[in-house]
Amino acid sequence: MNLDAGLMLSCMLGIGFLAQWLAWRLRLPAILFLLLAGLLLGPVAGALAPDRLLGPLLFPLVSLAVAVILFEGSLNLRFDELPGIGGAVRGLVSYGAILAVLLLAAAAHYLAGLGWEVSLLFGALTCVTGPTVIAPMLRTVRPNARIANTLRWEGIVIDPLGALFAVLAYEAIVSRQQGHALGVFLAVVACGGAIGLLAAGLLAFLLRRQMVPEYLQNYATLAAVLLAFSGSNALTHESGLLAVTVMGIALGNVRGVHIDDILDFKEHLTTLLVSVLFILLAARLEWPLPGRLLWAGTAIFLFAQFLVRPLTVAVATLGSALGWRERALIAWVAPRGIVAASVSALFALRLEALGLPGAEALVPLVFILIVGTVVLQSATARPLARWLKVAEPEPNGVLVYGADEVPRAVARALSDAGVRTVVADEHWDGIRRARMDGLATYYGHPATAHAERHLDLAGIGRLLAMSTHRERNALACVHYRQEFGRQRIYLLQNERAPEAGERAQWGERLLAPPLFGAEMTHEAFAERLEQGWRIKSTRLTPAFDWPGFLQQHGADTVLLFGVEERGALRVASVKRELQPQPGWTVIALVPPGGERAKRSE
């Protein structure tokens, strides 16, 4: 089937989106569906032939895409965060990673028959996990906080470090293959490192002095990355990947430079590039794989899963505070991801052109390991976590942002009803009072980088933004919309917009549905509490149902929450009008008159 090149590229974008969407819905790493889509389009259906579609542009486009992916991953390595990540993570990303590289290289050499050069490159590529595959798996597995933090930090730190190690191994192979002396390899490393540092320093200078307008900063960063990559390659052959890796690490650690917007842009761009790139790369695979490669890849996967990972975790976590159950789950979870797939494909293209024996086996072996680890671990990690008793319960808890009287009263009622509740605020007085009430607290805004490291969200699955600061509420809603999902974010309005001021409320309403009805605001809630209204929890029965509750406490009663018999929390909002059933525990704001009537009876 011959399709127009423009139509084919457009279809790849659409299919890439569908793969990403399916991964989001099923809470699985997107790489699995992207590779499957590429295999179906390419070798299975024969609809996509990347070499014919792009011709001589294939290698440059793949190179530039990998350069952006490596830069984006390297931006996340912050040296000032390394001392606080714990001994287990430091062991996993240092001597544990080196041990994994050596063991995986030995497996590639003895099981697949690859030369030591390609085997070491394979080991360097496949010792890397990465946040893009760890994050969706952790959302599905939901282990306890110590396991989740260990795996998450391992992925964040080892992603750029593993990429750097793989690039250095690749540079050494290319130098030796081309007959270059050690001095040429050192020159390549020095040139790539120098250009990366220079590009990062120049870009940081421009950003710090605000010499680039905000709307052009993402454009400038992308241009700088691609120019650094291409310029370094032009000066010293094959040094570009090292340059962009060093550039990302350096820029991410420069003080006084705000790169959050750049990170967001690069993350979105990387998602697009990865979606197209993986489909292209998988479409180039030969299918079915030659029997030797299939069996060798399967053997390497089993060796990595059942020997390499457990051994490296045992060595790296020796003497740590982790229990044996926690170490066992960490030893099971190590999915490979973006860096391994994209960089291996780029290296294979170049090494095949140089005529290096075994280079053609690099991509199939890496992809087999990726698919094997993602499929097996996604299917078994959650049951294993439950069996080991290190899994968190269903995320039915609530994060309450705000610590004045109104959110504290709501948080106390939820906590008394058995719902895990954490109160977060930047104001110490409110946090102090919440602690005196026996509530779990976090002192600070819940959308900060500090909160990502220190706010314990184990068992938490909803946000109630209830502070007196509208803008900070909006920031929390935007941040946790990705963490919990849009349908689990709620906002207590700070003011009810008059007709003339409705425009000011649209953005806020789009972020989250208003809590407790369209007429309820923070001020109105506080006024009711001052007037003697109280939050009351009552378990409904067939004899005393919700209409009976209203009859006793008055029609002005405001329903806040409902807790089902099995413990599931229901939140009253503009988008969801609750219909409490017998067996529910209702949490409602009742007027003082209803209480007096009850006492008089």
Q: What is the pLDDT of residue 596?
A: 45
Q: Which has the closest alpha carbon to 263: 226, 227, 221?
A: 221
pLDDT tens digit sequence for 32-65: 788 888 888 888 888 888 878 888 887 788 888 8
Q: What is the pLDDT of residue 109?
A: 92
CATH of the domain at 77: 1.20.1530.20
Same domain, 290 and 402: no
Q: What is the pLDDT of residue 600?
A: 38
Phi and psi for 253 in degrees, rounded to 5?
Answer: -115, 10
Question: By percentage, how much of the chain surpasses pLDDT 70?
Answer: 87
CA atoms lying within 13 Å on the CB side of residue 53: 25
Residue 176 CB burial class (10 angstroms; 0-12, 13-18, ≥19): middle
Domain boundary residue, one of 348, 365, 387: 387
Same domain, 530 and 444: yes
Q: Which has the closest alpha carbon to 169: 344, 50, 12, 418?
A: 344
Output 595 or 430, whichever has higher pLDDT. 430
pTM of the model: 0.68
Q: What is the pLDDT of residue 182?
A: 65
Range of the domain at 189: 5-387
Using the 8-state DSSP alphabet, how is residue 592 labeled? H
Residue 300 within any structural domain of the chain: yes
DSSP code string of 183-208:
HHHHHHHHHHHHHHHHHHHHHHHHHH
Q: How many domains is the chain partitioned into structurally?
A: 2
Residue 539 within any structural domain of the chain: yes
Q: What is the mean pLDDT of the chain?
A: 80
Tokens of 32: 């699995």
Check: CB of residue 204 under 8 Å from CB of residue 254.
Answer: yes
Strand-pairing partners, residue 521, are 493
Residue 425 within any structural domain of the chain: yes
Q: Which has the closest alpha carbon to 312: 102, 64, 85, 566?
A: 102
pLDDT tens digit sequence for 471-484: 888 888 887 877 77
Cα-based torsion angle of the residue sequence 543, 545, 549, 550 in order, rounded to the nearest 10 degrees: -130
Output 119 or 67, whichever has higher pLDDT. 119
Q: What is the pLDDT of residue 311?
A: 94
Domain boundary residue, one of 387, 413, 448: 387
pLDDT tens digit sequence for 210-229: 888 878 888 888 898 899 98
Specify the pairing of strand 558-563 against strand 440-443.
unpaired
Same domain, 84 and 177: yes
CATH of the domain at 542: 3.40.50.720
Is the bond preceding 288 in cis, omega lying within 30 degrees of 0?
Answer: yes
Q: What is the pLDDT of residue 81?
A: 58
Residue 471 CB burial class (10 angstroms; 0-12, 13-18, ≥19): exposed
Residue 230 within any structural domain of the chain: yes
Residue 597: which pLDDT band, with cuts at 50, 70 and 90? very low
Phi and psi for 512 in degrees, rounded to 5?
Answer: -160, 150
Q: Which has the closest alpha carbon to 343: 279, 288, 284, 277?
A: 277
pLDDT tens digit sequence for 494-540: 765 554 344 444 444 446 777 787 778 888 888 888 888 888 888 88
Strand-pairing partners, residue 447, are none
Same domain, 446 and 527: yes
Gap between the Cα atoms of 344 and 118, Å rounded: 11
Q: How many residues does the chain have?
A: 601
Same domain, 143 and 54: yes
Same domain, 367 and 472: no
Same domain, 326 and 428: no
Residue 392 within any structural domain of the chain: no
Check: CB of residue 450 under 8 Å from CB of residue 444.
Answer: yes
Q: What is the pLDDT of residue 598?
A: 45
Check: CB of residue 131 under 8 Å from CB of residue 156.
Answer: yes
Same domain, 465 and 364: no
Q: Is the pLDDT of residue 396 over 90?
A: no
Average pLDDT over residues 150-174: 76
Q: Is the pLDDT of residue 302 over 90?
A: yes
Q: What is the pLDDT of residue 312?
A: 93
Q: Is the pLDDT of residue 157 over 70?
A: yes
Gap between the Cα atoms of 183 and 224, Å rounded: 28
Cα-based torsion angle of the residue sequence 456, 460, 465, 469 in order, rounded to the nearest 10 degrees: 0
Specify the pairing of strand 421-425 against strand 558-563.
unpaired
Q: Which has the closest alpha carbon to 494: 410, 559, 407?
A: 407
Average pLDDT over residues 399-425: 86
Using the 8-state DSSP alphabet, how is residue 56 labeled? G
Using the 8-state DSSP alphabet, how is residue 517 labeled? -
Average pLDDT over residues 440-461: 76
Q: Is the pLDDT of residue 601 over 80?
A: no
Same domain, 377 and 432: no
Domain boundary residue, one of 364, 387, 410: 387
Same domain, 355 and 413: no
Residue 503 within any structural domain of the chain: yes
Gap between the Cα atoms of 68 and 267, Å rounded: 10
Residue 328 within any structural domain of the chain: yes
pLDDT tens digit sequence for 312-325: 999 988 888 788 88
SS3 state at 235 = helix
Gap between the Cα atoms of 16 and 10, Å rounded: 10
Q: What is the pLDDT of residue 514?
A: 78
Check: CB of residue 23 under 8 Å from CB of residue 257.
Answer: no
Most confident of 99-103, 206-210, 241-245, 439-443: 99-103
Same domain, 592 and 456: yes
Is the bond preceding 393 in cis, omega lying within 30 degrees of 0?
Answer: no
Strand-pairing partners, residue 585, are 539, 563
pLDDT tens digit sequence for 71-122: 877 776 666 655 655 678 888 888 888 999 999 999 999 998 888 888 988 9
Phi and psi for 427 in degrees, rounded to 5?
Answer: -95, 120
All residues at 6 or more sequence positions from 107 whose CB lies less than 8 Å from its CB, including other chains: 299, 300, 303, 304, 308
Same domain, 242 and 329: yes
Residue 42 within any structural domain of the chain: yes
Tokens of 333: 């979870």
